[in-house]
A and B are shown apart, each in its own frame.
Chain A
Amino acid sequence: MASRLVNWFKFSSPATFYPLARKIAVVSTIIAVVLIAIGLYMSFFVAPTDYKQGEGYRIIFVHVPASWMSMFIYVVMAGWAALGLIFNTRLSAMMAQSLAPTGAMFAFLSLWTGSFWGKPMWGTWWVWDARITSELILLFLYLGYMALRSAIDDPRRGDRASAILLLVGVVNIPIIYYSVQWWNTLHQGSTIKFNEESSMDDTMLITMLIMTFGFWAYSIAVSMVRVRAVILERERSSSWVREQLGAET
């Protein structure tokens, strides 16, 4: 148990994590490229045409994984924020910081693909549906976090202030989600129903899962590359960064 604890905290130091992040980034880049390539091939050529929605439904293979990732990444960021506040580790805040742009990108991607799907299916780019509205609010939360993070020059204060914001956000997300849902059901009884249980073809489900894991690997790869940049920027005055850069150039 004790040795495991030591191992955990070994990589909480930026200096030891920096080379590890490179390895993780390389491995997960390869996984991401392979999985997304297979997933895209399957979603375009293997998955059967939907009997009701035709070919246009194929955008859900990007849309659904992107929405999942956008929600999941926010929770992960809040987890890192909590760790950072509890254990006072610098790396946790850096991880949260480097995940944020990816999460915001996925939230935007989910809205974008959703409206591309909505135009042929519902005949409109935008519907004030509960899910779409909450996804939009999630995007706002990401943007707020990134804005606060970049507005504070002092890195220590920035880390802790944005960690508090993330925790406040994660407490509020369920409240926002349920209030939006209630608001929606009160206003427009039954225009579009998402909740209908549709019997999804197995190939479709597998394709969607492959895409999801591909997006996972992509998020890990991108955040690792970004965290390396953040580490270098923050630790630029320390001796190990000088050695590292001296050795690399």
Chain B
Amino acid sequence: MFEPLLWIIRRDLTIAMRRRSDIFTTLIFFVIVVSLFPLGIGPELETLRLIAPGIVWVGALLASMLALEQIFSADHRDGTLEQMLLTPQPVSILVIGKVLAHWLVTGLPLVVMAPLLGLQYDLSAAGLGALMVSLLLGTPALSLIGAIGAALTLGLRSGGVLLALLVLPLYIPVLIFGAGAVEATVSGLGGASHLSMLAAILVASLVLAPLATSAALRVAED
């Protein structure tokens, strides 16, 4: 069962490595969005420290949402996806593999980059740690939930904007617990409960989201 999973991850990573600019686009978008807020709000570190968790999280959320369209679109266009659906392996495995590869390419760089942005907002060391852990747990959940939207809007005219409309409301719990974990850590309350909730959301979406995604893919390729 794990062989096709590894095969798909390896294949998608190889393709992504041949088009490295896609990875950087997401990352640069994240950096730019997060850097815009001080320009709009003002450079007072007091204020910035207060809003840092929310802003970094919203930035990561938007960046990972922008990257969603790429999960299935290329394979859909050249017909590979249709062939993949015809294979005897369960579609959920295919979905998990593709989402995991996609997260490694677009989500993981955000996690690595986030502490640097947190420094710009003068987050404490504990806050930076909580930010990284919360993003590490949260961004895979975002990719898994977002994959449902990506599969539903596959090949539609206004796919990008529509995808945002479908997926953003579903992202709210992840945002609440992700930003909440950082905030609770900074204020000294301890973010363990938030992180546990994030982990629970990740596990639940790992089980449920691939089912919905594969159903949506079957509809799209019908």
Report the bound CA distance from A157 to B220 in whole Å: 7
Cα-based distance from A176 to B145 in the complex (angstroms)? 13
Query: Closest approach, in angstroms, between the C-beta of A138 and any C-beta of chain B?
Result: 9
A144 within 8 A of B: yes
A37 to B50, CA, bound (A): 51
The stretch of B25-33, B117-125, B169-177 in contact with A is B169-177
Q: For A172, list chain B residues within 8 Å (CB).
A: 169-170, 173
Per the bound structure, the CA–CA distance linking A143 and B197 in Å amounts to 28
**Across the interface, do B172 and A164 meet the contact criterion of CB distance under 8 Å?**
no
Task: Mark B208-219 against chain A: 1 for CB-CB distance below 8 A, else 0.
Answer: 100010011001
CB distance A144 to B212 under 8 Å? Answer: no
In the complex, what residues of B have CB within 8 A of residue A137's CB? 169, 172
Which A-chain residue is minimally distant from B174 (CB atoms)?
A179
B152 & A164 in contact (Cβ 8 Å cutoff): yes
Q: Are A168 and B177 in contact (CB under 8 A)?
A: no
Q: What's the Cα separation between A140 and B164 when bound, in Å?
A: 11
Residues B176-203 near A (CB distance < 8 A): 176-177, 180, 184, 197, 201
Bound Cα distance from A17 to B59, whole angstroms: 49
Q: How many residues of B contact A (CB 8 A)?
A: 27
Taking a contact as CB atoms under 8 Å apart, the answer to whether B152 and A148 are in contact is yes
Q: A148-B153, A151-B156 are in contact. Are A165 and B176 (CB under 8 A)?
A: no
Picked from B153, B162, B166, B173, the residue with its CB within 8 Å of the CB of A179 is: B173
Q: Is B91 an interface residue (CB 8 A)?
A: no
In the bound complex, do residue A175 and residue B219 qualify as a contact, i.e. CB atoms below 8 Å apart?
no
B169 contacts A141, CB within 8 Å? yes
A117 to B55, CA, bound (A): 32
| B157 beta carbon closer than 8 Å to chain A | yes
Cβ of B87 under 8 Å from chain A: no
Q: Name which residue of chain A comes closest to B164, CB basis.
A: A144
Q: How far is the CA of A152 from the CA of B208 in the complex (A)?
A: 24
Q: Does B168 contact A (CB under 8 A)?
A: yes
B21: interface (CB < 8 Å): no
A69 within 8 A of B: no
Q: How many residues of A contact B (CB 8 A)?
A: 27
Is A131 among interface residues, defined by CB-CB distance under 8 A? Answer: no
For the complex, give the distance between the alpha carbons of A114 and B198 in Å. Answer: 32
Closest to B177 in A: A179
Tell me if B216 and A164 are in contact (CB < 8 A): yes
B residues within 8 A CB of A211?
A: none
Quick one: which of B169, B173, B176, B208 has the most chain A CB within 10 A? B169
B8 in the interface, Cβ–Cβ < 8 Å? no
Tell me whether B166 and A144 are in contact (CB under 8 A): yes
CA distance A148 to B159 in the complex (A): 9
Minimum CB distance partner of A152 in chain B: B156
B3 on the A face (CB < 8 A):
no
Does B148 make an interface contact (CB < 8 A)?
yes
Contacts of A225 in B (CB 8 A): none
A169 → chain B, closest Cβ, in Å? Answer: 8
In the complex, whether A4 has a CB less than 8 A from a CB of chain B is no
* A161:B170 contact, CB within 8 angstroms: no
Closest Cβ of chain B to A148, distance in Å, is: 6
Interface residues of A in 170-208 (CB under 8 A from B): 171-172, 175-176, 179-180, 182-183, 186
Distance between Cα atoms of A183 and B175 in the complex (Å)? 10
Of B158, B169, B208, B220, the residue contacting A151 (CB under 8 A) is B158
Chain B CB count within 10 A is highest, among A137, A164, A169, A176, for A164
Which 6 pairs from chain A and chain B are nearest by CB? A179-B173, A140-B169, A183-B176, A160-B219, A144-B166, A144-B165
With A157-B219, A160-B219, A164-B216 given, name 8 new contacts (CB 8 A).
A140-B169, A143-B165, A161-B152, A165-B152, A168-B148, A175-B201, A179-B172, A179-B173
Please report A residues at the B interface, Cβ cutoff 8 Å: 137, 140-141, 143-144, 147-148, 151-152, 156-157, 160-161, 164-165, 167-169, 171-172, 175-176, 179-180, 182-183, 186
Q: List 21 A-B contacts (CB under 8 A).
A: A137-B172, A140-B165, A144-B165, A144-B166, A144-B169, A147-B165, A147-B166, A148-B152, A148-B153, A148-B162, A151-B156, A160-B222, A164-B215, A164-B216, A165-B148, A168-B148, A168-B170, A172-B169, A172-B173, A179-B197, A186-B184
